[in-house]
Structures are given as structure tokens and as C-alpha cells.
Structure 1
């Protein structure tokens, strides 16, 4: 055994013994070890310890927006760490990168979102939004306004509040005790939203939360007028409208933020992931100028909510450089154009293959539904998307399957830096993976002769 092979075996063994992986099949990891041990990333590509090179068709976790290996972000982190690696933001303490980033976010965000509460990631951002919404109504003298409405097929994170808001039932079933006062409505029905508000009593509803495009739930793009109707319903009943832009923010959909496609501004907005392109851990909640002023006018004493790393100087410095690169390299415009090409490529596969149903997406955020019968949309008894994802990895492409809530979907969100030629490579690899799985699936369906 070579030294390289010994290193691979050592890391696999250590991984199985000591690394308790998030959102992973536990038994599979114990039986097979890690699927990849990545050592390097450049652009849209990742390299693992065995030398295999793959297209990162998911931007890792929807978040490496500018692509891997940008040295400018490493330099920004180093320079800030050499000056001030960390300082607390409690007790009104502050630092320049956090101040500059909050101002930049106010400049680029939709509507009159003007003030940012920083967190370490998306789950914390969502939990913070629920707490701030409920605290807001306490300050307004309406303490019974505490219910949060979210949508089916939604994903808002895995902390206790975020799990409770998530519309994907499997995530809620993972724990034996959810946070109270979370309700769910059909993900595309404004009628069900209005009906639920009326049934519960508008005076009990604190906020409604929605992703502009549902990501982890299967890449579901809302109907054209859905969010304008949601905004009107929230206004009619005096309910706060929160958007979860954790995945859709910072260029992913071909605009800075997903809600810009609908011409609608929220009262609060959660963000994370693409704000640093995953190069540092950072998230936050933005609130409108109106809400910010009311917090100022109505608050007495200390705001008793915060995280150790809220406004982390190094993370904020990385975010500022990341946003500079997104704008300088025209990655938002590239996401719009490459997204069209990706969708066209997926539609070509849809015509070539028998098991591809609906193709959907917005910008560089796409999904394909796997069906046994295109006419009836009947699915396979055993979902095929996991097999397609596994075969795609063999071909050199990382993508992701969604089999929750009876779905069978393969989803994609490559870095915003992807080129037209790289889109072509992605489509070629995916088509071959689907061809192999499709052939095997229909051979099993044929009667014995």
C-alpha cells in the first residue's frame, strides 16, 4: 500500500470513528466511510484525496456563490484577523467591518430594509426573526400575536425554532418536541393562507415566512402573482411578512435577492450562505426602517437576544470582499444567463429521456422531477433520484436528491461563476447518469420472458 493509500484509509477510519456527520445516512457512513474527502476547490470544481475531480453542481450547500478558491477572500480574512480577529458586539460594542457590511446590505436589499441583526448562519437567522417578530408585538402591546405561519415543502433550518417552522414533515418528525405556535399552509395557495388566518384569528398571528423559491424542499418556484397577494394579505391583517433568502440571496436567482423577481418587499429578511459564499460563517436578519424605528421608540432596557459571533469582524470583512467580487465579476448577470442555459439543457434531457417530468427553476437554482409516466406524472415505487445522484457522482457531477414528502426530484445550484462550456459538461454528465439509471429501471419493469 502506498503512502497516499495509507492516508486515505487512515482518514476514512478516523471519519467513521470520530466525525458525526450532519444530514447524512449514519449507517452508510459507518459501512462505507465518507463519500468524498475533499482537499481542494477551484472555480466550480472540487478535488478529493484520491485525485478525483468533480463539478460542484450544488455550490456545496447552495452557498459557494463565487466559486471555490478565490484568494482575495483569504487575503481579506487574513488582513482582518491580523488587525482584529474578534470582538464582541454586545453592550453596543462595534467594529468597522460589521458597520460597513450593515450599511452595504441596506444599500442592496429590497424595499426599505435598513438594519441588520447578525448571526452565524441561516438557522440562527430564522430563529432570530421569529423572536424579533414576537418581541415586536410584545412592545406593541399585543402579546397574543405569537403564531408563525410557514408553508408546506419549506425549509428554514434545524435549530428548534427553525425546525418547527420547516414545512417538510420529516424534519419535524426527527424530534419529539417541537416549539409551539407554528402553523403551515399549502405552499402555493393564498386562499389557504387567508383561511388559516381567519380561523386562528388575525390578532394571534405574528408573522408569515416564505422562501422566494423553495430550495431544499425541491426547487418550487411560486406562481407569478403569489407573493403580491401574500403581501396584500399580510397588510390586510397587520401581519409581518418575513422572507427567507438564505439560499436565494446574493445573486442565486439572477437578481441580488429572490423577492426582486416579484416586486415585493418584506418587513424582515433572513440571509446567510451566499453573503460570504461559504468562506466564513455568517448570517443575519434585516428589518425595515419602520420596524427599526419602532424598536428604538418602544424598547426599554436591553435587547436580550444575541450570539457570541454576531457581527464577527473577520466574517464581515470576508462578506464585504465577497459582495465586491459578485458585483465586479458580474456574477448576478451571469447567473441569469447561465441559468437560462442550464434550464434549456435540462429541457433537452427531458426530451431525450423517458423519466424526466417537470423542469423548473429560477437563475442557477433548478430541479427536475423523476416520473415513471410523463402523461400521468406517476412516480416510481422506489424513488430514483438517489440513484441518479450516485451515478452522477461517478460521472464527475455532484447534485442532490429530494425524496421528502413523496417527492422524487434532482436539484442543482452550481456556482454563479459557471461558464457556458461548463454548463454543457454538467448536462452531458447528468444525461449519461440518467440514461444509465433509466435503462436499469425499465429493465426491472419488463415482465420475465
Structure 2
């Protein structure tokens, strides 16, 4: 069967049988999959037609070490041949899970010291909410149940994680959210303080935030914000949960984004870059104080766990992935190439009128689209047009267009080099120029 026939067959099967996550189901039926990828190498993906594109998002912010890493395949093969999986219930264990927990305790800042494993970011979030509430319950504060998060924050799509997510379209999908979740302005510590005092500190279990909001538009907090959040949480005896699912493992130019702000959360959530997407895995890392609190105050079994918590093969892959990040100095590369990316954004900003604010921290960044005539956002989002034009030219990027935003976001693999950064910026510039030219006779008039 020639590739054209195979592509037609796969698109047809895809329409009939594959319900895609976070996708337009109608569009899937009308146009089919825009790409069916068959191979990845470095920062590039190749589709079934043989077309090669730069993955400017590292897929979903997560393929940190790039595609086609045979070391990770070999780590999985070796572990599968010895012990692919055994459950971790009833205190049973395996060496990769033990080694990975110890490595995460070594890497994470401060006294973050004990790890609960999950299968991904949404599970890490739901686990953190349960553990925070359980911690206060066994310490004699059963009414401390409320979780405060930030508007525009993204924490996953399980029912608890959806309820914590501060992006309204995600919440509006269901008419039955979990109780005891509150949202405050994404940049105001004063609003956080007011929320705590209004609800009562004796009712609030935790505050959760991404150190850099990802799916909400790559929003970087103002200077001093997280330091003040840490003080407020300490003042009111509230746990601070850092959702580092996107930002962990070098994405921002530090191993963990909290390190930019010199703070240590009580609970840190990990996933994505922990295995660079080669196999599903997540983790919840807690401080020694919380760990000891759980040990000393609990009575009986911790009735929370997933079948694949501490999955031996996933943990083996994570250990090898972290080894690659360290030996290839990818955190440093993220910082250096992130500076080049931001410099390129700023140059494009000067050249192209529809480019508004630009920002980046390490290799996570964003460009706002603005009407240069009104200095406001266009009535109809333009970012999707930029994304479409970029895809035609060989660059995959994402857009954020909810709640009045019109933003293009970026998160390339941490292995990206100067030549590939230049290629990404060149394609982006051409796509923006094309879109701006198409607007000159319409929306910009």
C-alpha cells in the first residue's frame, strides 16, 4: 500500500474510532487529522507524507530531551526484561521507584524529601489535594479543606484538577464541579490575602499555583509575587503547592521554576519532563515535615493509590531521562537558548506591527497578538491564523484564545540549538508577516 492510500485509511479509522483529547470533534470529522506523525528525531517530527516540521511545543511542553532518544528505549527494554511492573500497594517496592524517589529528593529544593508516584499531572494534582486535606485532618484540623488557585492557572482535567483550573472553558464543560475550590486574581497577593480572610484560614488547606502559567498563556508572575505568597501561606498556616508539571526539569532555565524565586513549596507536583513524554509518569513531592506528619498522625492504611504508582519501567526511564538532562547540561542550554529565543521575539516585535507583548523564561515563551491601530486585541482571535501559517511552513506551535486572550505560545525541546532557534524564528516571522498582510485589507482597516 502506498503512503497516500495508507494516509487515507488512517484518517478514516481516526474519524471513526479515536476521540481526541482537547480537540474539536466536529473539525476532526470534517477535515481529519492535520498531521499523522510517524517519526521523531531531535526537535523534528516527520508525518506520514514524509513532511518534517519543528516541534515548537515539545509536543505538550514535555519532550525535554527531544525525540528519538535510543537511551530511553534501551532503559525501558532492560527494565521490562527484568521486571516490567509490580504494584506498590501494601508497602511492596521495586528498585527503580526507590532510586527515583531518592533522586527527586536530591534534586528538588529545600527539604522536599518524600515522593508519591502517579501516572501524570492530573493525577498528581488530585493526589496533592487529597494529601493536603488528609494532612490537616489527621493533625486535628478537619475543616481545612478549601483549595485556592489562580485565575488562568491550569492543573489538569480530573474532576478535582478541573475544579482547581482557573480557565473557565475547562470548568464549563461539566455542570458538577468538585466543592471547596476558589480562584483569585493571577497576579495579586492582596486578593489572595483577602480570600483567605474572607473564607477563614481555619477552612483553607492549600494554595496552588504554577510558577509560570503554561496553558493560561505563559504568564510570568511579577517580581516578588511568589516570595509574598510564601509569607502569606506561612502566616495563615496554609500549605503552598507548586504545580511544576510543565516547568519542572529545566524548562525555565532552572531545574525547577521555584528556584527562580528562592522559595520552597510544601508540596511540588511533577510529570511531563520527568520522562520527557517517553512513558507516562507523575510525582508528588512533599517536605520532610509533611512526610513525618503523615507518618506520626495517620492511623491505618493511606487509602490512596493508583495501579501504576511507582511503575518500575516508567521510573527506570525517568532515571535515564534525568541523567541525560544532567550530563548534557540541558538546564543551562534552556537558559541560554531561551535568551536567544526572547531576543528573537523582541526583534520580531519591532518589525511586525501586530506583535504586542513578548515574554519568555528559559524555553517557555509567548507572543501576544494586538491590533496596532487600537492597541487592543482584535475582535476575532488572530493567533490561530498564525499557528496555521506556521504549520504550513514547518513549525508546530499552540495558541491561547480564551477569555479575551490572543496568544501564541512556545516550548521547544531543551536540546534545541542556535541554528534550530534561528529556523523557528524565521518560520514564525514569515507566518506573522503573512497573517499581517492578510489583515491589512480587512480587520486592520
TM over 0.5: yes
- The aligned residue for residue 286 of structure 1 is 285
- The aligned residue for residue 399 of structure 1 is 397
Please report the TM-score for the alignment, with normalisation by the length of structure 2. 0.99
Q: Does 1:142 align with 2:155?
A: no
Whole-Å separation in 2 of the counterparts to 1:412 and 1:119: 26
Q: Pairwise mapping of residues 18-417 of structure 1 onto structure 2 (< 5 A)?
A: 18-373=17-372, 377-417=375-415
Whole-Å separation in 2 of the counterparts to 1:40 and 1:48: 7
Whole-Å separation in 2 of the counterparts to 1:406 and 1:96: 49
With over 3 angstroms needed to count, the CA separation of the structure-2 counterparts of 1:446 and 1:197, relative to structure 1, is closer
Does the CA-based 8 Å contact 1:148-1:165 persist in structure 2? yes
Q: Pairwise mapping of residues 6-21 of structure 1 onto structure 2 (< 5 A)?
A: 6-21=5-20
Does the CA-based 8 Å contact 2:53-2:396 persist in structure 1? yes
Whole-Å separation in 2 of the counterparts to 1:113 and 1:54: 39
Whole-Å separation in 2 of the counterparts to 1:360 and 1:220: 8
Please report the TM-score for the alignment, with normalisation by the length of structure 1. 0.98
With over 3 angstroms needed to count, the CA separation of the structure-2 counterparts of 1:144 and 1:41, relative to structure 1, is same
Secondary structure in 1 matching 2:440: helix
Secondary structure in 2 matching 1:405: coil
Which range moves more in the overlay, 3-12 or 54-63?
Answer: 3-12
User: How far does residue 119 in structure 1 lie from its aligned partner after superposition?
Assistant: 0.1
Whole-Å separation in 2 of the counterparts to 1:446 and 1:85: 58
Task: Write out per-residue CA displacement over residues 237-263 of structure 1, whole angstroms, 9 at most, x where no aligned residue.
Answer: 000000000000000000000000000
Does the CA-based 8 Å contact 2:378-2:443 persist in structure 1? no
Secondary structure in 2 matching 1:6: helix
User: How far does residue 284 in structure 1 lie from its aligned partner after superposition?
Assistant: 1.1
Whole-Å separation in 2 of the counterparts to 1:48 and 1:160: 34
Does the CA-based 8 Å contact 1:253-1:364 persist in structure 2? yes
Task: Write out per-residue CA displacement over residues 105-127 of structure 1, whole angstroms, 9 at most, x where no aligned residue.
Answer: 00000111000000000000000
Secondary structure in 2 matching 1:138: helix
User: How far does residue 445 in structure 1 lie from its aligned partner after superposition?
Assistant: 3.4
Whole-Å separation in 2 of the counterparts to 1:266 and 1:412: 26
| Runs of 4+ more than 6 Å apart | none
Secondary structure in 1 matching 2:441: helix
Task: Write out per-residue CA displacement over residues 328-347 of structure 1, whole angstroms, 9 at most, x where no aligned residue.
Answer: 10100000000000011011
Does the CA-based 8 Å contact 2:371-2:444 persist in structure 1? no
- The aligned residue for residue 441 of structure 1 is 439
Does the CA-based 8 Å contact 1:153-1:405 persist in structure 2? no
Secondary structure in 2 matching 1:341: helix
Whole-Å separation in 2 of the counterparts to 1:363 and 1:7: 40
- The aligned residue for residue 420 of structure 2 is 422
Whole-Å separation in 1 of the counterparts to 2:211 and 2:23: 26
Task: Write out per-residue CA displacement over residues 246-296 of structure 1, whole angstroms, 9 at most, x where no aligned residue.
Answer: 000000000000000000000000000000000010001000001001111
Does the CA-based 8 Å contact 1:255-1:336 persist in structure 2? yes
User: How far does residue 446 in structure 1 lie from its aligned partner after superposition?
Assistant: 6.3
Task: Write out per-residue CA displacement over residues 183-221 of structure 1, whole angstroms, 9 at most, x where no aligned residue.
Answer: 000001000000010011110000000000000000000
Whole-Å separation in 2 of the counterparts to 1:143 and 1:43: 50
- In structure 2, list runs of 5 or more residues that go unmatched: none
Whole-Å separation in 1 of the counterparts to 2:3 and 2:47: 12
Secondary structure in 2 matching 1:22: coil
Secondary structure in 1 matching 2:242: strand
Secondary structure in 1 matching 2:362: coil
Secondary structure in 1 matching 2:29: helix
Does the CA-based 8 Å contact 1:370-1:384 persist in structure 2? yes
Whole-Å separation in 1 of the counterparts to 2:33 and 2:272: 23
Whole-Å separation in 2 of the counterparts to 1:414 and 1:4: 28
User: How far does residue 224 in structure 1 lie from its aligned partner after superposition?
Assistant: 1.3
